[in-house]
Amino acid sequence: MKILLFLFAVLLLLAGCQNKPETVATADIPGIDSSVKPENNFFMYVNRIWYDTAQIPPSQSGVGAYMFMNYPQRLRLQGILDSVSKANNTAGSIEQKLGDFYASGMDTTTINQRSFDPVKPVLARIDSISSLTSLMKFVATEARLNNTSFLAFRVGPDNKNSKLNIAHIYQTGIGLPERDYYFKSDAPSVAIQQAYKLYLTRLFQLTGSDTATASKDAGIVYNIDEQLAGSHRTNIELRDVNANYNKMSVSMLEKKHPNIGWQNVLNDLGAKTDSIDVAQPAYYDKLNTALKSIPINKWKIYLKAYTLSNYADELSQPFVDASFEFNKVISGQAVQKTRGEIMAASVDQLLGEALGQLYVKKYFTEDAKKRVLDLVNNLQKALAARIDKLDWMSDSTKLKSKEKLFAITKKIGYPDKWRDYSNVMIVKDKYFENVVSASSYHYLFQLAKLNKPVDRSEWLTTPSTVTAYYNPNANEIVFPAAILQPPYFDNNADDAFNYGGIGMVIGHEITHSFDDQGAQFDKEGNVKNWWTKDDYAKFKARTQNVIDLYNTFVVLDTVHVKGAMTVGENAADVGGVSIAYDAFKLTKEGQDTTKIGGYTPDQRFFISVARIWRVKMKNEFLRLWINNNPHSPPIWRVNGPLMNNPHFYEAFQVKQGDSMYLPEEKRIHIW
């Protein structure tokens, strides 16, 4: 719900005057490595002792903060699910659905006894395909159950009319993480290609094919993948907001893609619409020709592979093992996760807001929610002040920037209204069917929104996931309950800890509303130019400085950060630290100089920034990260922003000749 500008201003003024809850400061900061000079490598100065001693659990590809906090988080969820699965729950209650879903997945004896029986009817339907029409009918019908192959359909806001949900389709159809994996010839990429082919071979063997036939069929699947991959846009190209919005009439698509037959596909999807946003048109152009040039029998082999791969983790242990062996090569994960952790993640994914209700009740407080809201308000106030002082932006664009800033919707902890799972049928002894039932529910939930007004109260993640996000279509920032815990937030900690922790994350997400993508959306969430031509040219030049700087950062061997792919996140990191610091200075502690544990408030602020990105990863996962993740690796989420922050230079006496030093003219100055 949008709130008028003057009301936001009043709230911000009040937030600055409110008394803070009683806090306790940590007496000291353990883990600082005095052998590392902070001015040379601040990430390691703060984290080196931890980094050198931390052990990555064999079932994980990394350890520490950020996304890897979801490992201990899943153990929390597992505790909740263990409890409800053993209770005598009322039929139809969320406790019954959660408990029985979890119990069905933990019953590996029954799952193994069923082998791949649950998926045999789907494979039989593939065998019965005899034409392009029946092939497309199968693909569309299965897409309704999240068994996707070469068709990716969703319902979401229209980029040019953010109040309305429309149909979207986007590139898909490949089994490797992204297109470039098919065309690289370096040793790690070749190893991943071979592992994928071996995985496909193993899936066919597990359903009865001999080795020679299975290997041949795997080659057919890989060849189709490769053809489709050639039409994919790169991860960098996918950042172009306007290029990835192509709303077309269904009648035009019918003429353009006769082999796909869009009207029939939409009928089978249950989607009544006269237009579709085709995010990456080249992919569907290629699919249309490939449907004719590739024989039906080869497409049937391809669909069997994707069906088996999609459901591998819901079938018997040999299928789970095959899936793991492939993913192990990509991620470096040494052993499989425990069944309990796997099921906690599965329940969170498929019944997330039901589980979220129990999680919030046990682990989240309203006091924490209120304090985080105070932080958000102070950060908005700080960014508004920074915008006023910009020397490169005109007054008219400054006014529109602040209008957008104060129109941001703030979602903290959990949704105001929870999803209704009453139509999801869950039984205790059929895990596969439970997954299908929940997947069908999610599809129908999404489909019901087609051509309807956007529900701005909806969340795109679960309360129990350690993450945060900015959604440009809704101009909203979202902080689930799960991230509102140490090292990001502690309701009993001092302001330096919290502003350097969750404050940096808040600043990061707010800055996304003005990054290379977010800057193209107006305050209502529409792709619309609100800049003067001159201001936008200056903005683009400054974002290019971000790309150029981060391109110089080395990650692994000779592998560098991909500046153009990570520019939005890097700009948000630089801006996030700066805004959080200014907001910190609005607090009593931020205006004080009293040392705690031997560190000034400013030093403690920057130490907290470094601690929230305390992460250690397997090299295999780090390579996967660099190729696919729009964020820089954790070390550069610390050192990169701080190299550009003048207050860091003052706090730790960084000077010319130090590794963290950047000449003033090379530092990033956007927000």
Contacts of 6 (CB under 8 A, 6+ apart): none
pLDDT for res 105: 98
In the predicted structure, residue 496 carries a pLDDT above the cut 70: yes
Residue 338 or residue 14, greater confidence: 338
Per-residue pLDDT band for 650 (boundaries 50, 70, 90) equals very high
Distance from C-alpha of 555 to C-alpha of 659, rounded to nearest angstrom: 16
| Among the listed residues 15, 7, 10, 20, the one whose alpha carbon sits nearest the alpha carbon of residue 592 | 20
**CA-to-CA separations, 176 to 161, 191, 353, in angstroms, rounded:** 34, 12, 30
Distance from C-alpha of 581 to C-alpha of 605, rounded to nearest angstrom: 8
The answer to whether 546 touches 563, Cβ cutoff 8 Å, is: yes
pLDDT for res 5: 27
Contacts of 69 (CB under 8 A, 6+ apart): 466, 482, 483
**CA-to-CA separations, 557 to 100, 590, 622, in angstroms, rounded:** 48, 40, 11
Rounded mean pLDDT, 596-613: 94
Is 5-60+365-415+459-666 in CATH node 3.20.10.10?
A: no
Distance from C-alpha of 654 to C-alpha of 661, rounded to nearest angstrom: 6
CATH 1.10.1380.10 boundaries in the chain = 116-315
Distance from C-alpha of 453 to C-alpha of 412, rounded to nearest angstrom: 23
Give me the helices (H) in 207-249, please.
211-229
* Edge-to-edge strands, sheet with 152-158: 152-158, 161-170, 275-278, 247-249
Distance from C-alpha of 361 to C-alpha of 348, rounded to nearest angstrom: 16
**Cis status, amide bond into 646, omega within 30 of 0:** no
Model pLDDT for residues 9-20, shown as the tens digit of each residue: 322 222 333 333
Tokens 């959306």 belong to which residue? 521
Q: Which two tokens stand for residue 316?
A: 């018997």
The phi and psi torsions of 492 (rounded to 5 degrees) equal -100, 5
Question: What percent of the chain clears pLDDT 70, i.e. is strictly above it?
Answer: 96
The answer to whether 377 touches 15, Cβ cutoff 8 Å, is: yes
Q: What sign results for the dihedral spanned by CA atoms 68, 71, 73, 77?
A: positive
Q: Which helix (H) or strand (E) holds 96?
A: helix 94-106
Residue 336 or residue 556, greater confidence: 336
Model pLDDT for residues 227-251, shown as the tens digit of each residue: 999 999 999 999 999 999 999 999 9
In the predicted structure, residue 119 carries a pLDDT above the cut 50: yes
Model pLDDT for residues 435-489, shown as the tens digit of each residue: 999 999 999 999 999 999 999 999 999 999 999 999 999 999 999 999 999 999 9
CATH 3.40.390.10 boundaries in the chain = 5-60+365-415+459-666
Per-residue pLDDT band for 314 (boundaries 50, 70, 90) equals very high
pLDDT for res 28: 53
The SS3 of residue 200 is helix
Residue 617: CA atoms inside 13 Å, Cβ hemisphere, count?
22
Would you give the distance in Å from CA 323 to the centre of its chain? 22
In 449-591, beta strands by DSSP E: 469-471, 476-480, 554-556, 559-560
| Among the listed residues 560, 653, 561, 545, the one whose alpha carbon sits nearest the alpha carbon of residue 602 | 653
* Best CATH choice for the domain 116-315 from the list 3.40.50.1100, 1.10.3720.10, 1.10.1040.10, 1.10.1380.10: 1.10.1380.10
Contacts of 627 (CB under 8 A, 6+ apart): 177, 178, 180, 181, 235
In the predicted structure, residue 4 carries a pLDDT above the cut 80: no
Q: Which two tokens stand for residue 245?
A: 């919005």
Residue 471: CA atoms inside 13 Å, Cβ hemisphere, count?
22
What torsion, rounded to 10 degrees, do the Cα atoms 671, 404, 531, 578 define? 0
